[in-house]
Structures are given as structure tokens and as C-alpha cells.
Structure 1
Amino acid sequence: MTKKIQLKGITWGHSRGFVPMVATAQRYEELHPEVEIVWKKRTLQEFADKSIEELAGEYDLLVIDHPWTGHAAAKKMVVPFDDYLEREYLEDQRINSVGQSYTSYNFEGKQWALPIDAATPVAASRPDLLAELGLSLPNTFADVLALAERGRVAFSLIPVDVLMSFYMFCCSLGEKPCARAEEVVSEATGVKALQLFKSLADLTDKRFYAKNPFMVFEDMANNDEIVYCPFAYGYSNYAREGYARKVLHFHDLVSLDDRGPMISTLGGAGLAVSARSANIATAVDYARFVGSPSIQSSIYVENGGQPGHLKAWENDYVNAYTSNFFRDTLPALQRAFLRPRYFGHMHFQDHAGDIIVRYLRNGGDEQAVLDNINKLYRESQLIENVHG
């Protein structure tokens, strides 16, 4: 009996991250009996933090966060798909990118992962509670503050999400962060962003300093206190009947001022193939399978996935069983800010959120906060200069 080709994959441990990979692997094995694919999972924090270098030594397939792209390109720990997939396939992926999801894994002219999952912070609500209380969905940030004063608003206040939200406030005030080498953002924009952020954080229960986005949604679905989340990375799972105690509806972001809806920070996940794999060709073929529009619109999304292919987001069938999650939030994805991906940026991302969290919790001088994150930002660029 011929020994099977075995591929090992690592993804993150939520229904959105793990179940669709197992389902697509099962179907791929049925179509390719000579292949066996085993998926393992890690926590959301490990997903964001653990080095690709470590993971690429153990696994053939890696579901990665796009800020790792510059690191992956510099270390050549994952393979560029341009060297293995035909141009037509990659062009379809590019044309059907949800926002900048495809671009987020492109670095130095090469495609280091396929965007199988797309996400950005969007708003979420409990429509049943809003109706029961006679409340309307907020349209502006002022509306959100008014609802928060009633104790009905929550969002994630863990460090990495706080940093992403700080980026969002800056973008929504008209300035993209990290556009210059010496500072994250100008003093005027940074101070205003921090003050606006704190005005909302002060009205939010302290338990949300320990909750990531899906924990916020679990809280909303399983209790009857929070009726609205103004921004958190969207999870279509909670918009599906039967997944949680109550169905959540998801929406575009409110307006901060007369510039229109807020601009959040792109998230999502990409599927990469380890350069150390003994079966690169098979791993690439499986990645092609997962990223294809037909699988993204069927097996992948039906098993809890949040696809990265635009055709799935626009699919009537997909939207019908997700309370229109994809169509309603797509505008936020299309304008989302693509954060930096240079070699040393993960050092900045790992620590800058702690500085802003301390300010939100305890108050303090906004200029001192900006000085501290600017210092960290400059240090992170030196990491690239030394090791890149």
C-alpha cells in the first residue's frame, strides 16, 4: 500500500478559523485519496503573536495574520504563490479581493499567502433588544455615546484591538497612521483620536478590557445587557441562526463627523505554504482549492468560514443564512485601512496597545502617550534596518 502524502496545518481556534479548514481538508482528501491533511489550532493571541519561523518548521500549511507578510518575505519561510500558481488564478484572486485583502499578503512584488478570510471592525447589534427598548441604530459617534451612557454599548478593549481602534480613529479624522518614519500620526490628530476614544471607553464596562471581539459577541448574544457594539472585527458566525443564544446583526460603521462612515483597520487571515514543506506542490494545490470561488462560496462559508473571495460576499445564498452579514458590512471592508507590514512592525503591534490601554484606563497626558508610541515605532523600524 502506497504511503499517503501527509500535510500538517496550523490555524486559530475559533469556529471561523478551524472548522472550515477541517471541512475543506476532508473534501480535498475525498478528491485526492493519496493525501491526508491534519489541522491543529492555536489561540487567537498565539495566532497574532507566534513567529512564522517557528511554525514553518513544524507545519506545511499556515493560516497567518497579514502583518507577518514582511517578516515572511524577508526570511523566505513561506513560498511565493507566483512561483507555483498560474497568473490567471492569482489575477482572479486580485480582482475579487475583499478590500485590500489580496494586497495585504503581497510584499516586494510576490504573493506570500492567499486571502481565504476577510475581516475588519464593523458594528453589531441585538435587533430584538433594540425593538423591545424602542431604540434606533446609531448613525453618528454622538449617537453611540448617548447609547453608551445608558450602559448598552461595548467593544473590545484588549491591547491589540485598542491599537487597531486607535488607527481607526486616526483614519476617520483624515490621517493614515504610520505614513511617516518619525511619528505614527501628527500631534493634532493623535490627541483628538485619543480623546474621542477615551470618551467612549469611559462609558464602557471594565470587563471588556479582558474581551477580544468574539468574546464581546458572545457577551452580547448570551446576555441581554449590551445592544450595540460600534466596532469589533466581524464574525459572521454570530449572524447565523442557531450558532449562539441570540442572532446578532452586523452593520457598517457610524460617522465620526461629516466625512462619512468611519474607516477601520483591515484584518482577516491568509493561507500560506511553508518553504520547508516536503510536499510544497500538494500544499499549494490544496491552498488553490480552498481559495477558489466555488469552495469559498460553499464548503468554506457553510462550515463557519468568513471568505476572502468577493463572489462569496456577494452571493445571495450565503447572505440569506447570515442575516445579510456580508452585503451589509462589505462597504466597511472596501475602505478599510491596510496597516504596515514591514519586518519590525510586529514589535510595535505587540506593545503599542498596552500604552494606549493604560491611558484609556487611567487617563493622563495625550502628548506623553504619543511620545511613547512614537518612540516604540522608531525602534521597530530599526529592527527592520538591522535584520531586514
Structure 2
Amino acid sequence: MNKKIQLKGITWGHSRGLLPMVATAQRFEELHPNVEIIWRKRTLQEFADKSIAQLSEEYDLMVIDHPWTGHAAAQKRVVALDEVLSKAFLEDQKGNSVGKSYTSYNFEGLQWALPIDAATPVAASRPDLLAESGIAVPKTFDELLALAKIGKVAFALIPIDVLMSFYMFCCSLGEDPCLTTERIISEEVGVKALKLFKSLADHVDERFYNKNPFMVYEDMVNNDDIAYCPFAYGYSNYSRDGYGRKVLHFHDLVALGEKGPMISTLGGAGLAISSKSNHIDVAAKYAEFVASPEIQATIYVENGGQPGHLKAWKDEEVNRRTADFFGQTLPTLERAFLRPRYYGHMHFQDHAGDVVVEYLRNGGDELSVLATLNTMYKESLQLVGSNE
């Protein structure tokens, strides 16, 4: 009897991250009896922190965060998918990208992962609580601030999410971060972004300084004080009947002044193949299976996944199952900001959020905050690697 080919994969420990990979692996094994795929999970923080170099030594398949793309490309720790997947398949992936999801894994002209999962900060509400209070879903920042002042608003305030939200405020004010090598953002936009952010954070309960996005959603469905989250990386799981005590509805972001709806910072997850794998060809077939439009709109999403293929986002049955999560939030994804992916940005990302959190909690001089961020930013640009 021939020994089975075994692939090991690592993903992140949430229903959205683990269950669709286990389900697709099970079906792939049924179609390819000579293959066994074992998926393991890590925490959301490890998902953002643990290096691709470490993971590539242990696993054939890796679900990765796109800011690692530049790092992975520089060290050649993952396979350039252009070498193992057909041009036609990759063209379909590119043409059906949800916003910049496909581009987020493209670096130096090569594709380093498939965007199997698409996400950006979106708004979420408890329709029952808003109805009880006679309050409509806010449409403007002023309406959001009024709702926050009566204690009905919360969002993730851990450092990484705070930094992504700072980027969001900057983009929404008309300037993307990291446009030059001298500063993270102009003083005018940076100061205004910090002040707006703090004006809102001042009315959020302290407990949310310890919560990531899905912890915010858990809080919202298990307690009855928070009716609205204005921005947190979307999790369609919470819009599905039976997943939580209550169902959340998801929405586009509020408008900031006359500039229209806010622009959040793209997230999501990609499926990459370790260059150290002994079975790159089999891993590529599985990756193609997972990212295919048919699987994305069926097995993947039916088992808690949040697909990265546009056809799944527009699928009527997918939206029926999720209180129109995908239809409501697609515009937010389509305009989301693609954060930098140069080699050293992970270092900046790991530390800069702490500076903004300190400001939100304790106040301070905005120009001093920006100066500290600028120093960190310039240092990150000097780290050895391949810059975009």
C-alpha cells in the first residue's frame, strides 16, 4: 500500500480561520485519497506576529497576513504561485479580487499567496438594541459621536487595531500614510486624525483596550450595552443565525464630513505554500481548490469562511445565509487602503500602535506623537530587505 502524501498547514484560531480549511481539506482528501492534510491553528496575535521564516520550516501550507508579503518575498520562504498555477487561474483570481485583496499578495511582480479570505474594518450593529432605543444606524461621524456619548459604541483598542484605525482616519481625511520616506503622514492630517480618533475613543469603555475585533463582536452578542461598532475587521460569522446569542448586522462606514464614507485599512488572509515543502505540486492543487469560485461560494463559506472571491461575495445564497453581510460591506472593501508591505513595515506595525494607544488613553501633544511615529517609520525603512 502506498504511503499517503501528508501536508501540514497552519491557520489562525477562529471559526473563520480554521473550520473552512478543515472542511476543504476533508473534501480534497476524498477527491485525492492518496493525500492527507492536517491543519493546526495559532492565535490571532501569533497570526500577525510569528514570522514566515519560522512557519515555513514547519508547514507546507500557511494562511498569512498580507503585510508579511514583502518579508516573505525577500527571504524566498514561500513559493511564487506564478510558477505553479496556470495563468488563466491567476487571471480569474485577479479579475475577481475583492478590492485590493489579490494585489495585497503581489510583490515585485509575483503572486505569493491566494486571497482566500477578504476583510476590512466595517460597521456592525445590534438591530434589536437600536430599535429599542429608537435610534437609527448612524450615517455620519457626528451621529456616531452622539451615539458614543450615551455609551452605546465600542471598537477594538489593542495596538495593532488602533494603528490600522489611525491609518483609516488619515485616508478618510484625504491622505494615505507612508507616501514619503520622511514621515508617516503630514502634520496637518496627522494632528486632525489623532484628535478625531481621540474624540471618539474617549467615550469607549476601558475594557475594549483589551479586545481584538472578534472579541468586540463576542461582547456585543453576549451583552446588551453596546449597540454599534463603527469600525472593526468584519467577521461574517456573527451575522449568521445560531453562531451567537444575538445576530449582528454589518454596514458600510459612516461619512466623515463631505468626503463620503470612511476608508478603512485592508485585512484578510492569503494561502501561501512553503518553499521548503516536499510536495509543492500537491499543495498547489489544494490551494487552487480552496480559492476556486465554486468552493469559495459553497464549502468554504458554509463552514464559517469569509471568502476572497468576488463571485462568492455577490452570491445570493451566500448573502441570504449572512443577513446580507457581503452585499452590505462590499463597497467598504472596494475602497479599502492597502497598507505598506515593504520588508521593515512589520517592525513598524509591531510597535507604532503602542504610541497611539498611549495617546488615546492619556492624551498628550499630537506633534510629539507624530514625531515618535516618524522616527519609528524611518528606522523601519532601514531594515535590510526588499522595498517596494
> What interval of TM-score do these two structures reach, taking the shorter chain for normalisation?
over 0.9
Partner residue of 2:211?
211
1:141-169 per-residue CA deviation (whole Å, 9 max, x = no partner) reads 11011000100000000000000000000
Q: Does 1:251 align with 2:251?
A: yes
Q: Is the 1:342–1:384 Cα contact (8 Å) retained in structure 2?
A: no
Letter in 2 for 1:71: H
Letter in 1 for 2:323: S
Q: Does 1:105 align with 2:105?
A: yes
Matches within 5 A, 1:210-289: 210-289=210-289
Residues 338, 387 of structure 1: alpha-carbon distance in 2 compared, 3 angstrom cutoff: closer
**What is the deviation of 1:385?**
5.6
Query: Alignment partner of 1:278: what SS?
Result: coil
Q: Does 1:143 align with 2:143?
A: yes
**What is the deviation of 1:384?**
3.4
Q: Is the 2:71–2:385 Cα contact (8 Å) retained in structure 1?
A: no
Partner residue of 2:196?
196
Taking the aligned partners of 2:352 and 2:143, their CA distance within structure 1 comes to 29
Partner residue of 1:337?
337
**What is the deviation of 1:133?**
1.2
Taking the aligned partners of 1:224 and 1:134, their CA distance within structure 2 comes to 15
Q: Is the 1:297–1:318 Cα contact (8 Å) retained in structure 2?
A: yes
**What is the deviation of 1:386?**
9.1
Partner residue of 2:22?
22
Partner residue of 2:10?
10
- TM-score, normalisation: structure 1: 0.99
Letter in 2 for 1:39: W
**What is the deviation of 1:387?**
9.9
Query: Alignment partner of 1:74: what SS?
Result: helix
Matches within 5 A, 1:9-88: 9-88=9-88
Letter in 1 for 2:239: A
Residues 179, 125 of structure 1: alpha-carbon distance in 2 compared, 3 angstrom cutoff: same
Taking the aligned partners of 1:86 and 1:386, their CA distance within structure 2 comes to 26
Q: Does 1:384 align with 2:384?
A: yes
1:70-114 per-residue CA deviation (whole Å, 9 max, x = no partner) reads 000000000001001110000000000000000000000000000
- Structure 2, unpaired ranges of 5+: none
Taking the aligned partners of 2:370 and 2:89, their CA distance within structure 1 comes to 43
1:337-368 per-residue CA deviation (whole Å, 9 max, x = no partner) reads 00000000000000000000000000000000
Query: Alignment partner of 1:7: what SS?
Result: strand
Taking the aligned partners of 2:129 and 2:321, their CA distance within structure 1 comes to 21
Partner residue of 2:368?
368
Taking the aligned partners of 1:385 and 1:86, their CA distance within structure 2 comes to 29
Query: Alignment partner of 2:203: what SS?
Result: coil
Residues 381, 206 of structure 1: alpha-carbon distance in 2 compared, 3 angstrom cutoff: same
Partner residue of 1:156?
156
Query: Alignment partner of 2:322: what SS?
Result: coil
Q: Is the 2:151–2:204 Cα contact (8 Å) retained in structure 1?
A: yes
Taking the aligned partners of 1:49 and 1:385, their CA distance within structure 2 comes to 18
**What is the deviation of 1:123?**
0.2
Q: Is the 2:74–2:386 Cα contact (8 Å) retained in structure 1?
A: no
C-alpha RMSD of matched pairs (Å): 1.0
Give percent identity, aligned residues only: 72
Taking the aligned partners of 1:27 and 1:306, their CA distance within structure 2 comes to 18
Q: Is the 2:140–2:255 Cα contact (8 Å) retained in structure 1?
A: yes
- Structure 1, unpaired ranges of 5+: none
Taking the aligned partners of 1:149 and 1:111, their CA distance within structure 2 comes to 45
Partner residue of 1:324?
324
Query: Alignment partner of 1:123: what SS?
Result: strand
Q: Is the 2:301–2:307 Cα contact (8 Å) retained in structure 1?
A: yes
Deviating 4+ runs (over 6 angstroms): none
**What is the deviation of 1:36?**
0.1
